[in-house]
């Protein structure tokens, strides 16, 4: 699509056709959907005598479903394999370069937005280039199919019409298949690939939360053993913005305690926002020297010595 001839006259152009005959053939190929739009574009290319970039919104946003909708099945396969592979290769090369040359000098909180931004910019550039040449591509396809119809059935308009309607027009099934593929791809990303990114980040946050609350609990336990009271006003020194520590004489989900250290996870961004508001609680058992642990995290996420509900 991005490597269309800009020769004069356009490829497959049938000079011997009258304007009325060419329009009729175009209508058979285009079908009823968006017929006026494409007839106008085809007429522009015919009059100027060469292909040139125009703008096509559908190709900008949903190129793959548009190709299937317009029955360009083989081109859709080539686009999905070659086009997307080209995008992925460029994204990978740029990200590797940025990772080594720039990321060491950028704060960690900006790393993921920068990576997403780079991938989005490359994808947008590719979509922009495709959208500019889609009308020229579709015009070329129409002229090729019209040339085939005339060569195969030079004296039979009925067979020409059948050929163009079979090779042209639109396919609602193809459109549904295109969006269905997108839905399937998003599901695969969510189920298979997103956890690969999320797991290390989740482990980092959970380790930080446990380490912070455990350190605080040790200090609270020492103060409790010395005074016999829960140090509710103890100064909590923690540098973590993702863990909020509180010392209370009660805790949710704990029936009997006179002192509890509660760690609440907060300010966690995508893709592990599900950790926000999760808690780790170390609580003291009255009339004993024992401290127990309870957590709102599930069994996979919670520390081994905490009882995950």
CATH number of 266's domain: 3.30.700.10
**Structural domains in the chain (count):** 2
Cα separation, 109 vs 267, in Å, equals 11
User: Would the CA dihedral through 217, 220, 225, 226 be positive or negative?
Assistant: positive
The pLDDT of residue 255: 86
Is 134 found in the same domain as 233? no
> Does some domain include residue 95?
yes
Contacts of 145 (CB under 8 A, 6+ apart): 29, 163, 164, 167, 168
The pLDDT of residue 2: 47
> Does some domain include residue 181?
no
What is the band of 77 on the pLDDT scale with cuts at 50, 70, 90?
A: very high
List pLDDT tens digits, range 195-244. Answer: 888 889 899 999 999 999 999 999 999 999 999 999 999 988 777 889 99
List pLDDT tens digits, range 96-142. Answer: 999 889 888 888 788 888 988 999 999 999 999 999 999 999 999 99
Q: What's the predicted TM-score (pTM) here?
A: 0.68
Is 234 found in the same domain as 152? no
Q: Which residue has the tokens 């040790």?
A: 218
Is 135 found in the same domain as 59? yes
Helix 172-188 with 57-69: angle, nearest 10 deg:
110
User: CA nearest 38: which of 140, 127, 126?
Assistant: 140
User: CA nearest 270: which of 205, 188, 209?
Assistant: 205
Distance between alpha carbon 151 and the CA centroid of its chain, in Å? 45
Helix 57-69 with 111-152: angle, nearest 10 deg:
50
pLDDT at position 248 over 90: yes
Is 279 found in the same domain as 151? no
Confirm if 163 and 149 have CB atoms less than 8 A apart: yes
Is 142 found in the same domain as 220? no
pLDDT at position 308 over 60: no
The pLDDT of residue 8: 53
> Does some domain include residue 210?
no
Is 226 found in the same domain as 163? no
pLDDT at position 1 over 60: no
pLDDT at position 148 over 80: yes
Domain boundary among 149, 170, 191: 170
Expressed as residue numbers, the domain containing 286 is: 216-308
Is 156 found in the same domain as 71? yes
> Does some domain include residue 188?
no
* Kind of pairing between the strands at 307-308 and 291-295: parallel
Three-state DSSP class for residue 266 = coil
Is 163 found in the same domain as 23? yes
> Does some domain include residue 262?
yes
CA-CA distances (angstroms) from residue 265 to 47, 175, 244? 66, 44, 6
Cα separation, 64 vs 70, in Å, equals 10
> Does some domain include residue 204?
no
Is 226 found in the same domain as 124? no
């Amino acid at each position: 699509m991005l490597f269309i001839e800009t020769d004069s006259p356009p490829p497959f152009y049938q000079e011997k056709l009258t304007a009325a005959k060419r329009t009729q053939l175009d209508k058979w190929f285009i079908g009823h959907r968006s017929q006026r739009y494409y007839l106008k574009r085809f007429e522009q290319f015919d009059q100027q005598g060469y292909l040139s970039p125009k703008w096509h919104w559908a190709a900008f946003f949903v190129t793959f479903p548009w190709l299937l909708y317009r029955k360009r099945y083989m081109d859709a396969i080539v686009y999905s394999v070659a086009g997307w592979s080209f995008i992925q290769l460029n994204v990978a090369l740029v990200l590797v370069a940025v990772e080594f040359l720039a990321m060491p000098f950028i704060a960690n909180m900006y790393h993921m937005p920068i990576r997403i931004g780079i991938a989005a910019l490359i994808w947008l550039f590719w979509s922009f280039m495709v959208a500019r040449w889609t009308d020229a591509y579709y015009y070329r396809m129409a002229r090729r199919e019209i040339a085939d119809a005339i060569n195969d059935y030079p004296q039979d308009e009925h067979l020409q019409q059948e050929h163009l309607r079979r090779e042209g027009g639109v396919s609602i099934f193809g459109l549904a298949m295109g969006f269905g593929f997108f839905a399937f791809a998003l599901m695969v990303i969510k189920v298979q690939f997103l956890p690969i990114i999320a797991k290390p980040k989740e482990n980092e946050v959970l380790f930080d939360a446990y380490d912070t609350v455990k350190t605080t609990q040790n200090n609270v336990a020492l103060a409790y053993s010395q005074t016999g009271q829960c140090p509710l006003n103890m100064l909590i020194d923690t540098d973590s913005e993702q863990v909020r520590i509180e010392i209370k004489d009660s805790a949710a989900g704990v029936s009997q305690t006179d002192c509890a250290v509660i760690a609440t996870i907060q300010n966690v961004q995508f893709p592990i926002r599900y950790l926000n508001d999760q808690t780790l609680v170390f609580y003291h058992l009255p009339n004993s020297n024992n401290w127990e642990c309870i957590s709102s995290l599930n069994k996979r996420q919670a520390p081994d010595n905490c009882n995950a509900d």
